[in-house]
Amino acid sequence: MQRYQGKGVFGGIAIGIIHIYAKGEQQVKRYKITDIRAEIERFQDARQTAVGQLGLLYEKAVKEVGETNAAIFEIHQMMLMDDDYLESVENIISTQQVNAEYAVAVTGDNFAAMFAAMEDEYMRGRAADVKDISERVLAILMGRDKSSVITDEPVIIVADDLAPSETVQLDKDKVLSFVTVHGSANSHTAILARTMSIPALIGTPIPLDASIDGHLAVVDGNSGCIYVDPDDETLRIMEEKLAQEKEKKELLQTLKGKESITLDGRKVSLYANVGSLADLSRALENDAEGIGLFRSEFLYLEKEDYPTEEEQFAVYRAAAEIMAGKQVIIRTLDIGADKQADYFKLPKEENPAMGCRAIRICLTRPEVFKTQLRALFRASAYGKISIMYPMITSVKEVRQIKAIVEEVKQELITKGIPFGEVEQGIMIETPAAAVTSDQLAKEVDFFSIGTNDLTQYLLAIDRQNEELEQFFDAHHPAVLRMIAMTVENAHEAGIWCGICGELAADPGLTEQFLEMGVDELSVSPGSVLGLRKVVRETKVL
Ligand code: PEP
Ligand code: MG
């Protein structure tokens, strides 16, 4: 048995087989070959396998997200049959007498560059697709299956680190736990694990090699340990703990349908944070009273090009309908920093967390912003949709947003397209917003405090940098004072104020938050019932 100590970011026990998640990018070597025909055949075989994989992905996607959204896999299949693409690969192999991997990589780069330089916006968007299909073929040629994460049995994913664009591709039903060598507690992998309510470890010094891949392991999210090839005694103890946890979860089920109210009668709304439609079922299962943060950027991250108004409308409308009249707060896209989508072509920045991200992108690319706003307002005719804007620093930005929103509403009115009453709020996640929250409160319908970013900017501690864990203090008085001040300013202006950062789920702070007058706490779906228990056992003085 091997034991590795990391840091638990979500409790619980997982028992299963380890699957090492390797990065999509691979180093391609160029070497001379002698048998040209055999090399071309090797390429053709890999191409066929890729076409087959894409067919399976298409079928899976049709079931999960519908035909329109699944069409991308059909497009990829067609690209792999494109004569120009095939000729280019075969030509490089035969004229230069080089290996298939090199020929595919060069063709992929050349075609991507060619598409990227085209006038037509749609064609430019195809650059990412051609890169993707080339990577798929490369992975097969190099003996690493790109879609290998889609296994039959759920697995424990062990990785160096996971970017949001990688986690979004994982088949979530097949993931028992995440264990990463790097990463920080507030990274989006950690947030994803909490949303999925599965045990997760970060900062785990575990070798990413054959000594663990495919081996049985136990992850203990409470102690932050992973046991590889556990001995009988460890396995027995962990199985017992797993059974106890199940019992605890079942006990929490008795809180379903009960009010989130303190012993002395103070009510608080317990909402859920989600990143996709699939997460909504987790929110409902756990009796969330609404959705406090729908991270809409995940819709953009799982795409290879901007999601269209129709695609977005379908998701927002479904969210409104599924939540059946409960409030659904959708945050406009918060792309940038660690959440990168190639097609946005964001410039490389020295300091991306403080760079061109979130509302700054929306205000500099009003067409992208307006497409999302139109989809959101249209969806508001089907339920209680609210809109929330991220990374606000000033009243000026809010007024700019309002002007754009007005244009969108007028367009819809002119076209006779219905929309409902939409509450509009902002995230308080920059110190500037917190400090000027008295002024901002007069401009909007609600505040939601994003403690993940607020803490990073306030303490000058990069939330992605694991080296700084020892300096990080989620309970720092500066953070708590800013929360208190923001709530007070919100109430002074007659608006409500919630918290949707990870701190909202901290049971050690619930009493303090309630004393401050926080109106809503939005947490991962799996934390809702546990928090309701804490609220119901609390007395606010
Ligand atoms: C936050 O910053 O607290 C927040 C909720 O937003 P995100 O974690 O998505 O940046
Ligand atoms: Mg944030």
Domain of 529, CATH number, reads 3.20.20.60
Based on the fold, state whether residues 279 and 365 are members of the same structural domain: yes
Nearest CA to ligand 1 atom 4: 450
Is 19 in the active site? no
Q: What's the predicted TM-score (pTM) here?
A: 0.73
Structure-derived torsion over alpha carbons of residues 97, 100, 106, 112, reported in degrees to the nearest 10:
140
Other beta carbons within 10 angstroms of residue 519's beta carbon come to 20
67-92 as b/e: b if 16+ CB within 10 A: eebbebbbebbebbeeeebbebbbeb
Indicate whether 135 pLDDT > 90: no
Indicate whether 148 pLDDT > 60: no
Residue ending a domain, among 107, 141, 175, is: 141
Domain total for the chain? 3
Which ligand sits closest to the CA of 185?
1
**Residues 6 or more apart from 91 whose CB is under 8 A from it?**
none
Is 215 in the active site? no
Indicate whether 26 pLDDT > 90: no
Would residue 43 count as lying in a domain? yes
Burial of 377 (0-12, 13-18, 19+ CB in 10 A): buried
Based on the fold, state whether residues 63 and 158 are members of the same structural domain: no
Indicate whether 408 pLDDT > 80: yes
Per cent of the chain over pLDDT 90 is 71
Counting from 1 in the atom list of ligand 1, the atom nearest the Cα of 503 is 3
Find which of 175-184, 245-254, 486-495 is predicted with most confidence, using mean pLDDT.
486-495
- What does the block give as tokens for 534? 């804490």
- What does the block give as tokens for 249? 């979860």
User: Per DSSP, what are the bridge partners of residue 10?
Assistant: 200
Based on the fold, state whether residues 48 and 156 are members of the same structural domain: no
Based on the fold, state whether residues 275 and 415 are members of the same structural domain: yes
Provide the CATH number for the domain around residue 102. Answer: 1.10.274.10
Given 19, 76, 188, 225, the catalytic residue = 188
Containing 124, the helix (H) or strand (E) segment is helix 121-141
Distance CA 480, CA 354 (A): 22
pLDDT at position 151, please?
Answer: 53
Based on the fold, state whether residues 311 and 403 are members of the same structural domain: yes
Indicate whether 36 pLDDT > 90: yes
Indicate whether 435 pLDDT > 60: yes
Based on the fold, state whether residues 41 and 15 are members of the same structural domain: no
Which ligand sits closest to the CA of 191?
1
pLDDT per residue as tens digits for the range 185-241? 877 778 888 888 899 999 999 999 989 999 999 999 999 999 999 999 999 999 999
Give the distance (Å) from ligand 2 centre to CA of residue 523: 14
| Band of residue 152 on the pLDDT scale cut at 50, 70, 90 | low
Would residue 54 count as lying in a domain? yes
Based on the fold, state whether residues 235 and 262 are members of the same structural domain: no
Residue ending a domain, among 201, 216, 250, is: 250
Indicate whether 493 pLDDT > 90: yes
Containing 413, the helix (H) or strand (E) segment is helix 395-414
Give the distance (Å) from ligand 2 centre to CA of residue 428: 9
pLDDT at position 165, please?
Answer: 65
Based on the fold, state whether residues 296 and 365 are members of the same structural domain: yes
Based on the fold, state whether residues 90 and 115 are members of the same structural domain: yes
Would residue 442 count as lying in a domain? no
Other beta carbons within 10 angstroms of residue 49's beta carbon come to 16
| Band of residue 149 on the pLDDT scale cut at 50, 70, 90 | very low
Would residue 437 count as lying in a domain? no
Give the distance (Å) from ligand 1 centre to CA of residue 500: 7
Residues with CB under 6 A from ligand 1: 293, 295, 334, 429, 450-453, 500-501
| Band of residue 25 on the pLDDT scale cut at 50, 70, 90 | low
Counting from 1 in the atom list of ligand 1, the atom nearest the Cα of 297 is 9
Nearest CA to ligand 1 atom 9: 295
Would residue 449 count as lying in a domain? no
Indicate whether 68 pLDDT > 60: yes
Provide the CATH number for the domain around residue 191. Answer: 3.50.30.10
Residue ending a domain, among 217, 250, 283, is: 250
pLDDT at position 64, please?
Answer: 65
Tell me the mean pLDDT in the region 491-504.
98
Which ligand sits closest to the CA of 483?
1
- What does the block give as tokens for 468? 């700084």
Based on the fold, state whether residues 10 and 43 are members of the same structural domain: no
Based on the fold, state whether residues 393 and 285 are members of the same structural domain: yes
Distance CA 18, CA 215 (A): 6
Higher pLDDT, 218 or 110: 218
Q: Which residue has the tokens 């690493």?
A: 144
Q: Which domain holds residue 416?
A: 256-427+499-512+519-536
pLDDT per residue as tens digits for the range 509-525? 999 999 999 999 999 99
In the three-class reduction of DSSP (H, G, I as helix; E, B as strand; rest coil), residue 203 is classed as coil
Counting from 1 in the atom list of ligand 1, the atom nearest the Cα of 188 is 8
| Band of residue 111 on the pLDDT scale cut at 50, 70, 90 | confident
Based on the fold, state whether residues 118 and 180 are members of the same structural domain: no
Residue from 527, 501, 446 nearest 283 by CA: 527
Would residue 443 count as lying in a domain? no
Other beta carbons within 10 angstroms of residue 241's beta carbon come to 16
Indicate whether 75 pLDDT > 90: no
Distance CA 226, CA 218 (A): 6
pLDDT at position 338, please?
Answer: 84
Would residue 477 count as lying in a domain? no
Q: Contact, 185 vs 9, CB < 8 A?
A: yes
Identify the DSSP state of 307: P
Q: In angstroms, how far is CA 186 from the centroid of its own chain?
A: 12
Q: Contact, 406 vs 454, CB < 8 A?
A: no
pLDDT at position 422, please?
Answer: 98
Other beta carbons within 10 angstroms of residue 412's beta carbon come to 17
Would residue 357 count as lying in a domain? yes
